[in-house]
Amino acid sequence: MTDPADQQLKAELLGVALEAAHRAGAFLRDGRPEDLGVAATKTSAVDVVTEMDIASEKLITDFLAEHRPDDGVLGEEGASSAGSSGVTWVIDPIDGTVNYLYGRPDWSVSIAARKDGETLVGVVHAPMRGETYRAVLGEGAFVNDKAAHVRPAPPFAQALVGTGFGYVAERRIRQAEVARQLIPLVRDIRRGGSAAIDLCDVALGRLDAYYERGLNPWDFAAGDLVAREAGALTGGRPGQALSGELTVAAPPGLFEDLQGRLEDLGAWHD
């Protein structure tokens, strides 16, 4: 039997997450300087992105403090507080900052609400796509107001697989080697630049699967729930939860095969 208090909490958390994500998304979209990408290699451009990142996170945390003052917060840009309600918000104020810097559309605001170690609500808002991906635990996943569902698992050789690469050279070299060995075995590999959007693309069937090493909780918290509620399996190394070591998402029947191959390829270590 569904607990009415639990349902009410999840509905409230979803409403707050959606409003906060849309406010931050509008701020980032409308506040981005037109010439930001022109000076993409200059410190000044990077500083602007960092300032937008920090300002976006402050906008979100101020909104949460107003509407859910007793909750905890874990944010990419340093916002961290324990709270007393048992609910913790996991925030990525710009997921896909390099895309944002260059004026590419695949960047997002990612907000998840967790309680007792379980993600209850996940919202990923991608303003330049005109899409908001959302999920509530046990209630399915949606893009805008349309239900989201993973593709049925294809044969491994026909899978379109998303991935990403870290910023540290040694890790990138290792990740490139894993991709080099994997790419002859699948249809193709895509690198989108926003882990949150990649996970949502699995949920929508725009990717068959996704994997990446080196993610932080704010990178995957919301997208993971969206993918799972759309029918994907998610995890890390075999038998383990997704983590900084490895994040894998795919429909049943493809997930197990990809996870096993990534284990054999050593995708979980540098």
Residues 6+ apart with CB under 8 A from 129: 105, 106, 197
pLDDT digits (tens, 9 = 90+) for 1-40: 578 999 999 999 999 999 999 999 999 999 998 777 554 4
Query: Which CATH code fits 156-265?
Result: 3.40.190.80
pTM over 0.85: yes
For residue 44, what pLDDT band results from cuts at 50, 70 and 90? low
Nearest to 208 by CA among 143, 268, 253: 253
- Cα distances from 214 to residues 18, 109, 163, 165, 179, in angstroms, run 27, 19, 11, 8, 15
Mapped onto helix, strand or coil, the DSSP state of residue 216 is coil
CA angle 138/143/147 to nearest 5° reads 55
pLDDT digits (tens, 9 = 90+) for 128-151: 999 999 999 999 999 999 999 999
Rounded Cα distance, 207 and 184, in Å = 17
pLDDT digits (tens, 9 = 90+) for 174-228: 999 999 999 999 999 999 999 999 999 999 999 999 999 999 999 999 999 999 9
Residues 6+ apart with CB under 8 A from 56: 24, 27, 28, 93, 94, 109
Class of domain 4-147: alpha beta
Written as one string, the DSSP assignment of 15-82 is HHHHHHHHHHHHHHHHHS-TTGGGGTTSHHHHHHHHHHHHHHHHHHHHHHHHH-TT-EEEETTS-EE-
Rounded Cα distance, 146 and 35, in Å = 35
Rounded Cα distance, 132 and 21, in Å = 9
Average pLDDT, the chain: 94
Rounded Cα distance, 187 and 171, in Å = 24
Rounded Cα distance, 229 and 224, in Å = 9
Residues 6+ apart with CB under 8 A from 172: 165, 166
Q: What is the mean pLDDT of residues 58-62?
A: 97
Q: Show me where the domains of the chain are located.
A: 4-147, 156-265
The count of residues in the chain is 270
> Which single residue is written with the structure tokens 């996943």?
141
